[in-house]
Amino acid sequence: MNGIDLVPLAVGHLIGLAAIGSGLGIGVMGAKFLEAAGRQPELMNELQSKVFLLMGLIDGAFIISTGIALWFTTANPFKGG
């Protein structure tokens, strides 16, 4: 077994761990947003814009990770010759 045989396993881990991390991050952030909005409803509009901005950044990291994983799948840079 060489390193090329382990690329599908590595790609699966890369996509899976990124999805889990993204899901947990957005879930915790959403819970904290609802908690903060419940405590201070007058700040809800200001907090909502920041939550959507951070949600896009968290999802952006997941999408970049998926892109790199799919790049490794189709054009493996570790394959020699």
pLDDT of residue 49: 94
Mean pLDDT of the chain: 88
pTM for the predicted model, two decimal places:
0.77
The two tokens of residue 52 are: 């959507």
* 59 given a catalytic annotation: yes
Residue for token digits 């999408």? 63
Q: Give the active site residue among 59, 70, 71, 78.
A: 59
Domain 8-73 superfamily per CATH = F1F0 ATP synthase subunit C (1.20.20.10)
**What residues contact residue 36 under an 8 Å CB cut-off, 6+ apart?**
43, 47
pLDDT of residue 55: 94
Closest-CA residue to 7 (of 72, 53, 75): 72
User: From CA 46, how far away is CA 19, in angstroms rounded?
Assistant: 27
Beta strands in the chain (DSSP E): none
The answer to whether 55 and 24 have CB atoms below 8 angstroms apart is no
